[in-house]
Structure 1
Amino acid sequence: MTLPSSCDVLVAGSGNAGFTAAVAAKQAGAKQVILIEKAPEEWAGGNSFFTAGAYRTAHNGAADLLPLVNNVDEATSKRIDMEPYTAQDFANDMQRICQGRSDPTLSKVLVEESFPAIQWLKQNGIRFQLSFNRQAYEVGGRLKFWGGLALKTEDGGKGLIEDHKANARRHGVKTYYSTALEQLLTTPDTGAVEGVIVRHQGKTATIKAGAIVLAAGGFESNPRWDLAKVRGTPYNTGDALEIAIRDAKAKQVGNWSGCHSVAWDANAPAHEGDRIASNEFTKSGYPLGLMFNNNGKRFVDEGVDLRNYTYAKFGRAILSQPNQSAFQIWDQRAIPLLRSEEYRPERVKQIIANSIPELADRLVELGLENRKAFVDNINAYNEAVYAFQKENPGKKWDPSIRDGVSTQSKAIQLPLAKSNWALPLDKGPFMAVHVTCGITFTFGGLAVDPNTAQVISSVTDRGVESLYCCGEMLGGLFYDNYPGGSGLTAGAVFGRRAGMAAAENAKKGGHSRPRL
């Protein structure tokens, strides 16, 4: 397709936030909306394609969510245990998990608009399901959801992007792949953004626009993160962030040294995700077992919290270990509970042994340097677990709650506890997998007006006229960690705000309006 010379709204980025913004702009009255994407079409979707498609939302229980999903029959619905996850619960998690550093207004908007955004996505053809495989355990015949996260998209990120692409086509959004943003054009007197220069099919072109929405991802694929494996697209190198800072004097905010990362298959590709395997390289079964570094030592409390609140920071913890490497270990009590899509032999190299010493020998071949410490630490762990069980005979192990089954008793306390779900690890055969850090998205980004997602100027501390931002490029929401599933929700919430505000700006004349 030939690039247009002008449009009402131009969106840069083809992920969840970008497609949301483009369709929202169309629905708000923008006549001509185009979406540009630096990557070729076979890499459409940015990092959203590589997610599990989980969306965190406030809700009042299963009655709120069942009308949104397509995978629950009447019999199954009667077996579901799902506590309400209120707006206050969501707000508390944002405060706790982000260490009180999340921008309070951005966080408030995210929480309060989370459910309306899900409803909007549903109305626009996004297929939601209850996440039985990732977010529920069967306990006593009941399907118990846990961790405040219940919704996912059908076929994960792959299905999400297919649905977004179809919705954009229905709304008449024109999408141009292999089209990279190179420059924001601004008016000399006001600094308002009035268009872009892009590179398309090897040539530069100018597109005038009434408003521009930046949704082009973070900088996780930039070589500065070369010790972490890239979980998703190789095209998120931070170009659009640099362009906005350079050309529009966009204000930087947030945790620029922080990122969402996960325990990732050590044998996965280093510099880009695999579009077939996608999220299956994630290795999130650590709460059911133990993690050791190459020195034979545990380095995190695997049971400190529900997985939804730890996986994004434990990947970074692995990055800090010798050789950016770790081993996840389980025995026969836990192996049957591991998710097959992540741990089946077709997806990951399973290291199997009949005893802990034999397992240690096999791990030495993969980089374990202190075999004795590994064996001794597992023995010490088992002693601590049995001591706790002896003192607490009525304590019940339950992976769907913070069960308090730990290593810490009056008789024995480990220097590094396992605070929940601490079962003995002595029933062979044993299994280990080799993991590293897989980086998902970076936390640093641009400052925006929470009401409109308009980019803030570092010079005037006021909005940059006609420029908006959403998705991973938006800074200030997440610090050090994040509540699982809130990234896609934030992309939808602020993508809608950016798209609607951009359309209104364009209808009023965009950059041609004088600044008062």
Structure 2
Amino acid sequence: MNKSRHVLVVGAGNAALCAAISAAENGARVTMLERAPAGARGGNSAFTGGCFRTVYDGVEDIKKLVPDLTEEERLSSDFGHYDAEKFYLDLCELSGYRADPVLIDLLVEQSLPTLLWMSDQGVRFLPAYGRQSFKVDGRNIFWGGLTIETAGGGIGLVDALFRRAEALGVEVHYDHKVERLLGDRHHVRGVVVNGDELLADAVILAAGGFHANTEWRVRYLGQGWDLAKVRGSRYNTGNVIQAALDIGARSHGNWSGCHSVFFDAGADDFGNIAILNQQKNYFTLGIVVNRDGQRFFDEGSDFRNYTYSKMGAAILKQPGGTGWQIFDAQSTTILPDEYRVPRAARFEAETLEALAAKLEGIDTEAFLKTVADFNLAIDEAAPFNPAVKDGRRTSGLANDKSNWARAISEPPFVAYQVTCGITLTYGGLAIDEQACVQNEEGEPMGGLYAAGELVGGLYYDRYPGGAGLTSGSVFGRIAGANAAS
């Protein structure tokens, strides 16, 4: 190990912090360059719920990640299992079999070891009760392959990683925007930051994608994407991706695709760290209608973890780019905390007619007919069970609901107005299994590494919930170790 080796890390979210810690552990002198001010540090990671998708073989692996798991929690929970084959298949299927096989194989293989390493760094993991489990017959049943979250959510995650980084001597500089990379397509020797040249033995790029760049959203995602609300950091504008492309890095991945969700219509245009959880992802428990009063997709096609990341694009295509999630008293009791945030665009009434009167711009007659037709089309023989694909479906509708169909019939009735909230973009830079950035000729660019949301090739079309934080940690750790060596 050689403390004279200097590594620059661009960014300060989960991927960047894991890279910095890994590089420092492997003997490097590490400097982090964060574009945001100190009060807005943490990148997109700070805006997440802190869920990590990982391979695990039942409760014994959960116990390794959650050493303070009580006996009562063990007995009252069914954690199931999530093996490597299932994780790999989820990444393949949700990407339409386009995901980079080398990268996703590494992601799956290193998921549990990386989370255990993070635990050693001081990150505290907990079972994701409330958001990733439902209580059925007195037991917490986990569903959708997503079981673990960090204490304190995304903010708790980045705070824990900052404590460890600072303990290892990592220097963090805020309000430092990287403008250019120094070098060429064969080798990088530093950056230009705030107009000054800063040299280093290696540079790790982990500054996120371009979801906060309005112009790029329209350029790459298409018409209408300038209207999307930004769910997370306003500092992820793609400038670091552009800096790498400018010296010959290879672009990779789904540049016309992104992770976007149903987002509260009353939310700010940019993520508000004081009001998190403004996404509305439990549409599986009700129905969703547009301004024409029509349902426009199958709300029960799969667990929300496998469908929620394309819902923002779906609502953006509807009239006015908005719609409403509709629930009755049967469902509101099991909606999670994201439906109880302040200033939510929430409407309630004792009758469906009175509810429709509060939904500005909706076709009332069509809405009432949609609900009536939906209620009549449900197969009441199948019992409702939100923890499994219960097969409780409708038949004969233009958009049948495949699971979790219950009549919207018990007052009070509640509607949440939603629009598109963009979380992250899928296009970015090409890396190899060493997390080294590749040039357009397919060769590694010496001294340049990347991790996190600016890496392309992992996600196309859809995204399995929790994979983003895990991939950021896995490739951040790999990048840090290789940059230090």
Alignment match, 1:21:
19
Alignment match, 1:114:
111
Post-superposition offset of 1:67? 2.9
Alignment match, 1:502:
483
AA aligned to 2:242 is E
Post-superposition offset of 1:345? 6.6
Q: 2: CA distance between counterparts of 1:62 and 1:70?
A: 11
Q: 1: CA distance between counterparts of 2:319 and 2:51?
A: 31
Alignment match, 1:96:
93
The match for 2:8 among 3, 10, 22 is: 10
Post-superposition offset of 1:73? 2.1
SS in 1 for 2:207: coil
Post-superposition offset of 1:71? 6.3
Q: Would the aligned equivalents of 2:275 and 2:342 in 1 still touch at CA under 8 Å?
A: no
Bigger mean CA offset, 238-247 vs 63-72: 63-72
Alignment match, 1:261:
260
The match for 1:61 among 58, 63, 81 is: 58
Q: 2: CA distance between counterparts of 1:13 and 1:105?
A: 25
1:156-195 to 2 correspondence within 5 Å? Answer: 156-186=153-183, 191-195=186-190
The match for 2:355 among 356, 359, 370 is: 359
1:131-189 deviations in whole A, cap 9, x for unaligned? 001011110011111100000001100101111110110111101010010111116xx
Alignment match, 1:221:
212
AA aligned to 1:198 is V
Q: 2: CA distance between counterparts of 1:322 and 1:164?
A: 43
Bigger mean CA offset, 71-80 vs 433-442: 71-80
Alignment match, 2:220:
none
The match for 1:127 among 124, 144, 147 is: 124
Q: 1: CA distance between counterparts of 2:272 and 2:68?
A: 27
The match for 1:317 among 308, 314, 319 is: 314
Alignment match, 1:145:
142
1:342 and 2:338 equivalent? Answer: yes
The match for 2:394 among 385, 407, 412 is: 407
Q: 2: CA distance between counterparts of 1:215 and 1:273?
A: 19
Structure 2 unaligned residues grouped into runs of 5+ = 218-225
SS in 1 for 2:44: helix
TM-score by length of structure 1 reads 0.90
SS in 2 for 1:414: coil
1:66-105 deviations in whole A, cap 9, x for unaligned? 2322663221211111211000110111111111111111
Post-superposition offset of 1:282? 1.2
Cα RMSD over matched residues?
1.3
1:436-451 to 2 correspondence within 5 Å? Answer: 436-449=419-432, 451=433
SS in 1 for 2:156: helix
SS in 2 for 1:206: strand
Q: 1: CA distance between counterparts of 2:364 and 2:297?
A: 19
Identity percentage of aligned residues: 43
Q: 2: CA distance between counterparts of 1:480 and 1:285?
A: 20
The match for 1:211 among 202, 206, 219 is: 202
Q: 1: CA distance between counterparts of 2:300 and 2:231?
A: 24
Alignment match, 1:250:
249
AA aligned to 1:180 is K
1:429 and 2:420 equivalent? Answer: no
SS in 2 for 1:67: helix
Q: Would the aligned equivalents of 1:218 and 1:236 in 2 still touch at CA under 8 Å?
A: yes
Q: 1: CA distance between counterparts of 2:41 and 2:427?
A: 23
Alignment match, 1:457:
439
AA aligned to 2:419 is T
Alignment match, 1:481:
462
Alignment match, 2:222:
none
Q: 1: CA distance between counterparts of 2:282 and 2:253?
A: 30
Q: Would the aligned equivalents of 2:24 and 2:30 in 1 still touch at CA under 8 Å?
A: yes
Post-superposition offset of 1:431? 0.3
AA aligned to 2:36 is A
Runs of 4+ in structure 1 over 4 Å off:
none
Q: 2: CA distance between counterparts of 1:183 and 1:350?
A: 45
Bigger mean CA offset, 66-75 vs 87-96: 66-75
Q: 2: CA distance between counterparts of 1:313 and 1:129?
A: 27
SS in 2 for 1:213: strand
Q: Would the aligned equivalents of 2:279 and 2:338 in 1 still touch at CA under 8 Å?
A: yes
AA aligned to 2:6 is D
Alignment match, 1:285:
282
AA aligned to 1:405 is R
Q: Would the aligned equivalents of 1:71 and 1:130 in 2 still touch at CA under 8 Å?
A: no
SS in 2 for 1:90: helix
When residues 71 and 429 of structure 1 are mapped into structure 2, their CA distance, relative to the original with a 3 A threshold, is farther
Alignment match, 1:376:
369
1:234-271 deviations in whole A, cap 9, x for unaligned? 11010001110002x1101111111111111101001x
Q: Would the aligned equivalents of 2:5 and 2:484 in 1 still touch at CA under 8 Å?
A: no
Larger radius of gyration: 1
- Count of paired positions: 473
Q: 1: CA distance between counterparts of 2:345 and 2:314?
A: 22
Q: Would the aligned equivalents of 2:18 and 2:477 in 1 still touch at CA under 8 Å?
A: yes
Q: Would the aligned equivalents of 1:253 and 1:444 in 2 still touch at CA under 8 Å?
A: yes
SS in 1 for 2:131: helix
TM-score by length of structure 2 reads 0.95
